Every structure is written in C-alpha cells, then in structure tokens.
Amino acid sequence: MCSVPGLNKRPRLGARRGGARRSPEGRGHSGVESVISILLLGLLLLIGLGVFIRQFDVDMGRFGIDTTTAGPLLEQTEPNMQEPALDALMPDGFKKFSEIETYDAGNLYEKINGKAPSYTESGFVKLFTQRFISKDDENLWMELFVFDMAAIRNAFSVYSVQKRADAGMLAFAKPQPCYRTSNGLYFIHGKFYVELIGSTESVALDKAMAEIAVKFASQKIVDDDKITEFALFPEKDAVQGSFKLYLANAFGFDAFTDIFTCRYKLGDETITMFLSKHPDPQDAQTTAESYYNFLIENDATDKPTANKTLKDIGAKVLDFYDTTEIIFAIGPFIGGIHEAENQKAAEELAARLLDKLSNTAKTIKND
Amino acid sequence: MTEQNVQNFARTRVTRETGTSGRRQFLARTGKAGISLAAAGLISYQLYDRYGPTTGVDADSLVTLPDFRVPDKLGQTMSIVKGPDRKATANKAIELLGGIERFVGEGQTVAIKPNVAFASSPMLGATAHPELVAEVVRLCYNAGAKQVIVTDNPINDPASCFTLSGIGKAASQAGAKVVLPKAHLFRHTTLEGGKLIRNWPVFFGPLENVDKLIGISPVKDHARAGASMSMKNWYGLLGGRRNIFHQDINTIIAELPMMVKPTLVILDGTEVMMTNGPTGGSVSDLRRANTLVASTDMVAADSYGCTLLDLTVSDLPYLTKAEKAGAGTTDYESLKPVFGTV
C-alpha cells in the first residue's frame, strides 16, 4: 500500500496556516480577531470605568433630597461680603414680627417659588427678609426683602424689570432710584435690591417704609458703583425713572444682552429707546446685524427713511407688525428704537441717540 | 497516478476538510456568540431600572389619590359669573352647576385646598382670598357636610402662610379644621404614565379619608409657567424638593390634573395678578376682572382663565399637554359654560 504524502497530515499545535492560530481542538483565530477582541475588552473596561466614576456624581436633588442644607455646597454659596443689619432698620412705633430669614440660590424658591429664576438668573447671591408690625395696630405689618444681587447692574436689572406701572418716584438723596406704590416701597442701594411690602394701604406704613429706606441707604455696606450707560441717553423728553436693564434675551433675541432702555414722550407718542455697550466696534456691528436678521426672519420688512443722519450711518429701519424698529451700531455701541407706533418720531429720537453716541464713541477713540 | 497528481489530490482534500471544519466552527461560534448576546441582553433588561434610584420607597407603599369627581351633567360642567363680590359670585357659580348639593352630600367630609403658597396679605392676590375660602366652607356645611378640612402645603413657612394670608382664621371661624403639613402626612405616589411624578412625596394624609375635594385658586401671572390657576394649585400637594420641577414646568402642571381628580375647582378672577407673579407684592400688580369660574373640568377653567391674563391657550403649553393626556378640554366653549352676573 502506497502512502500518500500529506494526506493524513494534521497541522502542528500552534502552527500558523494562512495566518490562523490553531487551538488544541483545531479551532483557529486570526490576528484580526485578536485585535478586535482586545479592542472590545478595552471598550468594556472604559465603559466600566465611566460608570464607576459617574456614580460619584449623582444629582440627589433629582430624587427629592435636599442638598442645600449642609456641606460644601453651602460653603460655596456663602457670600464673602458685608451683610445688611436688618434689626437696625426697625422704624419707630414698630416691633419685630418675625426673625430674620435668609435664602440662597438653592432655596430661594421656598420664599418666592416661581419667581426665583428671575433672580437666580440675574446674579442673585442671598435674600434677607424680616417682618415688622405696628405696636398699635396688629393689621399694620410689612415685610422687608433685601436681595443681594452681587453687583449694582444686577440689582438695577431686577428692580427695573419689575417696576410697577403706577410707580411714584421718590426724591430721596439716597437710596436712588426709589419708588412707591399704594402698599409698597422699592429701591436699589449698590448691589442690593430692596422691597418693602405692606399688609395694606396705610399712611403709617408709608412713613415707616420711607424711614427704613433712608436708614438702609445710610448703612456703609456697598461700593459706590455707578451705571455709566444712563448718561449716554439723551435727556430731552426722557420719562423720569423709566430706565430698564435687560441682562439677557432682550426683545426676545438671545444675543441681546445688557440692553438698557428708556422711554421718551414726544407729543402723544411714548417711544422706547435702547442701547448697549459692547467690548469693541466689531462686536457691536455683528450683534446689530444679527438682530436685524432676527427681525427679518420674524417677518419684519425694511422701510425707506428720509432721515439723513440715519441713512449716513447705515441704520436699519424696519416695519415690524405695524411698528417701527430702528437699529444701528456706532463705535462700541448698539442703539435704536423698539416698537414705535410713529416712524417719524422714532427716527427723530434715533437720530438724537446717534448724535450723542457718536460724540461718546469719538471720545473713546481719542482716549 | 503520478506523484505530482497524488500530492495535488491530497492538498485538495486537506483544503476541503479544513473548509468544512472552518464553516462548522464559524457556525458554532456564531451560535454561541448569539446565545451569549441574547443572555446578556435578557439579564440587562431584567436588571434595568428605567426610573433610576428613588428615595427608598418600595412599590407596595405607593399611594394613589382617590378620585373625588362627581358624575358629569350635560351643560353643567362650567359656570362663569361676573361680579365684584366673591361670596356672591361663588354662590351663583355653584348654583348654576346644580347647587352645592350636587357636590357635597349629607355627612360627608370635604377637603378644600386653597392656594396658600405665600405668607402675604390677602390684598396682594398671591393666595386664595380668605372670604372666598370661608364662603365655600359654609356652603359645604350648609349641604350637610360632617367636617370640612382646609389644607395646603405652602412653600413658605406654613403657619405664617395660613396666618398672614388670613385663610387660617377665616376657615376656622367658618368651622373648618385647618391642617398644616407634617412629615407623617406625606406618602409617595407614582402617576401612571407620568414622566415627573414618580415615587414622589405627596400631601396625602388630609385627603386619605375625605369624600370630596374642592380647589380654590386665584388667577395669577407666573414668571416661569406663564400663569398659575386651578391646575397649578395642586402643585401645593407635592412634597420634597419640588422646585426641581420648575425645569420642566409645563410637564409638571400637565401631570397635576392627572394626579388629582377633584370634585370641583373654583377659579377666582375677581382681581387678577397681571404682573410680577406668582408673588406680586403690590396692589398695582392686580387688575380687577370681577370674574369667578366654577368647573368640574379644570383644564377648561384654566383655558378660560388665561383670557383674564390677556393670554391664549397657545401661550400656556401645559393646557394642551393636559388635554392630550385626557385631563379635560381647552375648548371650554364646547362645554357650553353657563354665564351669570350678580
């Protein structure tokens, strides 16, 4: 019987054949398989490592556990600042009606619920509250709210955006600005926004609130910061106390931040003027163009203008649902008119603002 | 057969054998890999907790709020009454729905849940008005109620809220038992199909053994939600760190009428907080609308209520969400509301 060379040959253990490794049972695996296996194992290890690390970063607040009452979080939010002495503000004829309560960004909602984001999104640090009650009449009480907003601009923003339509401006030397309604008094003092809310409409409460406001403003607890943008608005025809500051999302436009507005009275027309200072002219120009595009995307249309001042600077005049919107950039400033009913009056005001800003822009350039 | 041919034959046979063996191995491996994947998937599926960790309450101890509704009556689902006097408009609105006897029976226990969210003067409109709460308490007793409970879980200090809003005193004087929130009165609930109300503490104790539930709320502007009315009022029943729900305010408000099925809601638009809500702070935030709504459909009540704030249904996405969830209708006119003036 002849033997047939190679017929009964079996591959040797561990011998390579066509790149395959052979197991004792004869099953082989390629180098590619080995690489894939190692990669998969590596991936699994990474996933495991990720899960392991992530488990130390659980938001327990998601599960109803209060994380604000103790520990490092509180230390982080504890402001390093001087605090107002509320007890020292007690007006004559009144006594304490509650102890001082304090709230930080983590629990502000416990005091003002759905209004909390208006503050926390505007730099809020801490709230101090206390109630005072008349010694003679238990129906006469008030609550003092002192919001530490970290900076005068933030304080002014929450003050101005909430300002009541029937506000009566008060001419104290300090605090300023300050206004009253039939049952309350509201002002800013440096970084603090302060509200005094009365239980009812009462002359006695009015007097006590005014006393508190003056006492508060006499406390040396704030830097004497100023908001420089007020001086950039034309004075003529401005409605007293009508300044507002929108820190973000002004006029529904995301990129409109730090927008100041002021109302003007021209004949029967009340018109809103706005301006914002940017880091440099290029940034102002870009933001102005973005706002113009935003308006166009929302059905605004260009309007012809005969106003030479506006034309020369390349201001955009638009019709926006039968109102006039004007926007321009000059130097580091954006300026304009928002939702005016009368185009001619709007253009006249815009030209006044442009004139004032162009002088300021020149000064900045020369500096 | 030449030597060369024999070698070629042998090589071909080895190749065929190896090929057959390779296919078998491939199929075996694929089968095993498939079984491994299926097993791993099955085990993962069994172990997967789609809701994540909870505060430790097991499913058996979860509660569901009772259904306090009364049978519908055609043409008597919603009434809208104009007038400056809350007591008079409330009486008329309930009368137009068939009278208080339709809602409260002899010997029954009634819980009234007014909005007592803040420790503020009733003049500011941030809470339900004490006169209105007291009037509804009286109406319930007139209908033969055995006991009336007035309760809420305010955000501020509860005692201060009930005291300074005047609701505690008014309710007590009208004969109601005022129940303030205490830890042992909270139980966990899960809203079936709910996204946010899952294993969450709810102010269950005062409602556990009552027969009827009436909600009373003012119409208010709300910085986060757009408006706070009868649906948002039930937010007061939630415990825990409920402010986290403000991140998805429309969903939580839409889930509330799924969780709470009251007998009746009373929406007070006598004075409406138009600005600076939900706390307000000045009477100048209010506008007199002289309107009060009573309804067994709170989605409908709020859909009308938003018009008092110069809003439309589309301004408040939670209304449409609640309607889609089957909590009521935004088309309040389809209910043919009964109008009245006093």
Domain spans of chain A, in order of start: 81-218, 228-366
Contact state of A182 with B278 under an 8 Å Cβ cutoff: no
pLDDT greater than 90 at residue A49:
no
The predicted pLDDT at position B5 comes to: 61
Give the model's pLDDT for residue B37.
87
> What pLDDT sits at residue B28?
86
Between A20-29, A51-60, B157-166, the lowest mean confidence (pLDDT) is in: A20-29
Q: Which of A27, A109, A183 lies nearest to residue B246, judging by beta carbons?
A: A109
> What pLDDT, on the 0 to 100 scale, is given for residue A221?
63
Confidence class of residue A364 from pLDDT cuts 50, 70 and 90? low
Q: Are residues B329 and B248 part of one domain? A: yes
Which of A50-59, A170-179, A192-201, A357-366 is the most confident on average?
Answer: A192-201
Residue A76 has pLDDT above 70, yes or no: no
**Cβ-based contacts of B223 with chain A (< 8 Å):** 114-115, 117-118
Dihedral sign of CA atoms B266, B332, A113, A166 in order: negative
**Pairwise CA distance, residues A153 & A136, whole Å:** 39
What's the CA angle centered on B224, arms B219 and B230, to 5 degrees? 30
Is residue B35 domain-shared with residue B79, that is, in the same domain?
Answer: no
pLDDT tens figures, B222-249: 999 999 999 999 999 999 888 888 889 9
A79-83, A254-258, A263-267, B34-38: the lowest-pLDDT one: A79-83
Structure tokens at A273: 């003027």
- Among candidates A94, A194, A86, which has minimal Cα distance to A141? A94
Instruction: Give me the CATH code for the A81-218 domain, please.
Output: 3.40.1000
CA distance A325 to chain B (A): 24
In this chain, the answer to whether the domains covering A81-218 and A228-366 adopt an identical fold is: yes
| CB nearest A117 (choices: B25, B223, B275) | B223
- Judged by average pLDDT, the poorest of A17-31, A163-177, B81-95 is A17-31
Per-residue model confidence (pLDDT) at position A54: 72
Sequential pLDDT tens for chain B (342 residues)? 556 665 665 555 555 555 666 778 888 888 888 888 888 888 888 777 655 555 556 666 899 999 999 999 989 999 999 999 999 999 999 999 999 999 999 999 999 999 999 999 999 999 999 999 999 999 999 999 999 999 999 977 899 999 999 999 999 999 999 999 999 999 999 999 899 999 999 999 999 999 999 999 999 999 999 999 999 999 999 998 888 888 899 999 999 999 999 999 999 999 999 999 999 999 999 999 999 999 999 999 999 999 999 999 999 999 999 999 999 999 999 999 999 999
Average pLDDT over residues A302-315: 93
| B54 within a domain of the structure (yes/no) | no
Domain that residue B28 falls in: 1-48
Do B145 and B277 fall into the same domain? yes
The CATH homologous superfamily of the domain defined by A228-366: TM1622-like (3.40.1000.20)
Cβ-Cβ pairs closer than 8 A, A with B, add up to 116
Mean pLDDT over each residue of chain A, to the nearest integer:
84
Residues B196 and B303 in one domain: yes
* Residue A169 CB partners (closer than 8 Å, separation 6+): A177, A178, A179, A240, A241
Nearest CA in chain A to B226: A114
Let me know whether B107 and B251 are in one domain. yes
Order of strands across the sheet with A323-330?
A: A244-246, A259-266, A269-277, A333-340, A323-330, A316-320, A301-302
Does the beta-carbon distance from B278 to A61 stay under 8 Å?
no
Average pLDDT over residues A309-334: 94
Q: What confidence category does residue A71 fall into, taking pLDDT thresholds of 50, 70 and 90?
A: very low
Least confident of A72-86, A176-190, A216-230, B104-118: A72-86
For the stretch A304-313, contacts whose Cβ atoms lie closer than 8 Å and that sit 24 or more positions apart, written own/partner, are A305/A343, A305/A347, A307/A347, A307/A348, A307/A350, A307/A351, A309/A351, A309/A354, A309/A355, A310/A347, A310/A350, A310/A351, A310/A354, A313/A354, A313/A358
pTM of the model: 0.75
Which of these, A229, A116, A164, lies nearest to B155 by C-alpha position? A116
Task: Give Cβ neighbours of residue B269 (< 8 Å, ≥ 6 apart).
Answer: B218, B219, B289, B290, B291, B292, B293, B305, B308
CATH of residue B187: 3.40.50.11440
Confidence of residue A226 (pLDDT cuts 50, 70, 90): confident
- Looking at residue A75, its pLDDT comes to 33
Pair (B121, B236) in one structural domain: yes
Q: How does pLDDT run across A290-306, given as a tens digit for each residue? A: 999 999 998 899 999 99
Nearest CB to B11: which of A6, A110, A114?
A6
Tell me the nearest-neighbour CA distance from A193 into chain B, angstroms: 14
**Rounded mean pLDDT of A84-105?**
91
CB nearest B155 (choices: A110, A181, A201): A110
Same-domain status, B35 and B68 = no
When divided into structural domains, chain B yields a total of 2
- What's residue B176's pLDDT? 97
